[in-house]
Chain A
Amino acid sequence: MRPFKQVESRVVPVDRSNIDTDALIPKQYIKSIERTGFGKYLFDEWRFLDKGEPGMLLEQRIPNPEFTLNMERYQGAEILVAQDNFGCGSSREHAVWALEDFGIRVVIAPSFAEIFYANCFKNGVLPIALEPEKVERLIHSALSVDGFSLLVDLPSQLINMSDGESLSFSIDPYYKLRLENGYDDIDITLTKLDQIARYEQKRREQEPWLFTV
């Protein structure tokens, strides 16, 4: 996984609550057996006016000019800000793969659905939960100030604005460690193989019916 230290970028707002993973990546695209290439389908039903199918080229599509991600002023944004309960619904990791592939490295919202939140950390994407008033302010600025940018710094857990103001955010220290270093979770767990084996022996005695197959 690509390590995450710092991202400085313009900010794209998607001013909605309960943005679900079906909206992030509709079902027809998760038929892929690959892990890459989902970015062009991100927010498909909101980003495009025509009906999308797997394999369609971007040039063939009819973009929705009213959707923020399509607007010139937000091109290249790596920071997305939205309302509460972001990423709710299906556990599909394809939603994070689509964000990451599109170029989004940070999502800021008042709250996140748990499975989506965990999936972000497997893919080098930083989800930041901030108080609703602060998110509201960021959305307002992103909508009203052309070129509104932020610098998100993971080591200091700060979001720096161009006027010098900073917002601090909290993050689980283990999640932070993994994201900062790009650690592979499986590698970490595999260092505990002895412990796992001892645990299995104990469970085998307690609940032998789980080990009969």
Chain B
Amino acid sequence: MSPQTLFEKLWQRHLVHEPRGVESTEPSLLYVDRHLVYEVTSPQAFEGLRHQQRKPRRPETIIATADHNVPTTDRTQGIADPFSRAQVEQLNKNCEQFGIKEFRLGDIRQGIIHVIGPEQGATLPGMTVVAGDSHTCTHGAFAALAFGVGTSEVEHVMATQCLAVPKMKTLLIRVRGQLSAWVSAKDLILHIIGQIGTAGGTGYAIEFAGSAIESLSMEGRMTLCNMAIEAGARVGLVAVDQKTIDYLEGRPFAPKGEHWSAAVDYWRTLHTDAGAEFDQIIEIDACAVKPMVSWGTSPEMVVAIDEMIPSLSGSVDSVKAEAAATALEYMGLKSGQAISEIEIDKVFIGSCTNARIEDLRTAAAVVKGHKVSQRVKQALVVPGSGLVKAQAEVEGLDAIFRDAGFEWREPGCSMCLGMNDDRLQPQERCASTSNRNFEGRQGAGGRSHLVSPAMAAAAAIHGHFFDVTKMFEVCDA
């Protein structure tokens, strides 16, 4: 058999129906192994099932939780916002009616779907994973073909366990060398998006490979794949290696006993074969990546901490120049301003991009022994799941954050998109470990700067963006 890419292997394995002949107007039908469901994009899908008197084909493949809309403060009194409460209660009802496993508020396993899937071992190599959320690409870190879908497709997957999907092209992003100390997967993916643009991966499944990717932890790989969608790609992938297998062993939903060894044997084949061809290849030098900070209202508007906001007024691309001008006006910034001089009002450490235990450990290591700057009105740490929160507390990370002046919250999506009460006020400027800096994303009129957990922690301490690598040069001296 001719050498295959990882994507091609996963695609072939899941084809239920392949259109025959060039004349065919049918798309490929893909089988779905794991479906993650949450409160915002599922109610209309469940309603559709009821309306048509249909049932989920394999309810046991679905795992549900409430994450987008939940309060991150004291939950003993339930949810105050009547709209949010109705949505979460509807999810509970739907899961009960259709026999779906749900981690409810109060269950230590509740959290952001893209954190709890891998944490529970519910995301496995070789699976197809879908959810009504664009950041489903996160699960590609486990060599799972994972992508976000709309609500109609949520219903389609529940009813049929399949999806009609146009086949993606393949893009290899090979990252050579090693990332420097305090430069993380988040900086790498922001660097990549800065290079290829937010539509650079549209139509592609991206595979991340190379020595820098091999060195990343599973948490780092999840951060990387999580933001494939911000490069336009629905799918991000990393091949299976020993780290993948070690991460999964013993997790509640992972296979056990003889199934485990059979699974591991199969999973070890989930990599791109030598000589396999990609539609496109991009080479990145990891050594050149610095801590990154976004300055605009699109994730591609990003520069390194030691740079200035670029000037695009002389750009040949008038659409890009106009977009930059609009973004700068919204952000209250000017071309030529040094990134390190931008002062911030709020800090958010959390989201499906950066709320795993490694993220919290890194941020805590930066924060330890410091105080949040007087100019920062609020600094939030929102763990990605109840289990991440518990682990952080065992390690004493909560105390480090609290002592410094951070608020230590309950798990959820929180200020990444501000569906709950955790929001920016108009014109407030935030150093955020989340994934989108769109206008109004974190609250109407709010100004978001995307950074890594270490850079968010450094900004919290200094009150403005600060090169975290410099903090440790000083401390080590």
Chain A: residues with CB nearer than 8 A to chain B? Answer: 15-18, 20, 22-23, 26-28, 30-35, 45, 51, 54, 83-85, 88-94, 96, 111, 113-115, 118-119, 122-123, 132, 172-174, 177, 185-186, 188-190, 192, 195-196, 199-200, 203, 206-210, 212-213
Contact = CB atoms under 8 A, between A and B. Distances in A.
B29 A189 contact: yes
Interface of B: 16-17, 25-27, 29, 31, 33, 40-41, 43-44, 47, 52, 54, 57, 60-61, 69, 81, 83-84, 86-87, 90, 124, 126-127, 132-134, 148-153, 155-156, 159-162, 164, 166, 198-199, 202-203, 232, 234, 253, 255, 259-260, 262-263, 266, 297-298, 319-320, 322-323, 326, 417-419, 436, 438-441, 444-445
A89 B438 contact: yes
A100 B31 CA distance: 30
Given A89-B436, A207-B266, A210-B33, A26 B156 contact: no
B326 A16 contact: yes
A115 B232 contact: no
B149 A115 contact: yes
Contacts of A90: 133-134, 417, 436
A19 to B, nearest CB: 10
18 contacts: A15-B322, A18-B298, A20-B436, A22-B439, A31-B69, A34-B44, A84-B319, A89-B438, A91-B149, A91-B150, A114-B203, A115-B149, A119-B152, A122-B150, A177-B25, A192-B16, A195-B29, A196-B57
A83 B319 contact: yes
B40 A20 contact: no
Contacts, number: 180
Given A93-B152, A115-B234, 11 more contacts: A18-B297, A23-B439, A28-B419, A31-B81, A33-B47, A84-B199, A88-B199, A92-B41, A122-B152, A199-B16, A203-B31
A30 B202 CA distance: 25
* Most chain A beta-carbon contacts within 10 A, residue among B133, B262, B319: B319
B440 A22 contact: yes
Contact of B444 (A45, A199, A210): A45
Nearest to A96: B150
Contacts of A173: 25
A123 B418 CA distance: 27
A172 B418 CA distance: 36
A99 to B, nearest CB: 13
A27 B419 contact: yes
A106 to B, nearest CB: 19
A88 B166 contact: no
A35 B419 CA distance: 18
Nearest to A192: B17
Contact of B441 (A22, A84, A212): A22
B259 A209 contact: yes
A31 B198 contact: no
Q: Which 3 A-B pairs have the closest CB atoms?
A: A209-B255, A122-B152, A93-B150
A33 B155 contact: no
Nearest to A46: B439
Contact of B232 (A54, A113, A177, A186): A113
Given A54-B83, A195-B16, A111 B202 contact: yes
B31 A199 contact: yes
B326 A32 contact: no
A173 B253 CA distance: 40
Nearest to A174: B25
B150 A210 contact: no
Contacts of B441: 22
Contacts of B60: 213
B323 A196 contact: no
A189 B156 contact: yes
A35 B51 CA distance: 13
A21 to B, nearest CB: 9
B155 A186 contact: yes
A15 B325 CA distance: 13
Contacts of A91: 41, 132-134, 148-150
A32 B439 contact: no
Given A17-B323, A34-B44, A26 B262 contact: no
B319 A33 contact: no
Nearest to B297: A18
A188 B441 CA distance: 37
A43 B372 CA distance: 36
B151 A93 contact: yes
Given A23-B438, A33-B87, A113-B232, A189 B151 contact: no
B134 A174 contact: no
Given A22-B438, A186-B52, A27 B417 contact: yes
A92 B44 CA distance: 12
Given A45-B440, A189-B164, A85 B44 contact: no
Nearest to B263: A209
Contacts of A94: 151
A88 B150 contact: no
A209 B124 CA distance: 10
Given A88-B232, A123-B152, A174-B26, A17 B319 contact: yes
A108 to B, nearest CB: 15
A189 B161 CA distance: 10
A89 B437 CA distance: 10
B25 A16 contact: no
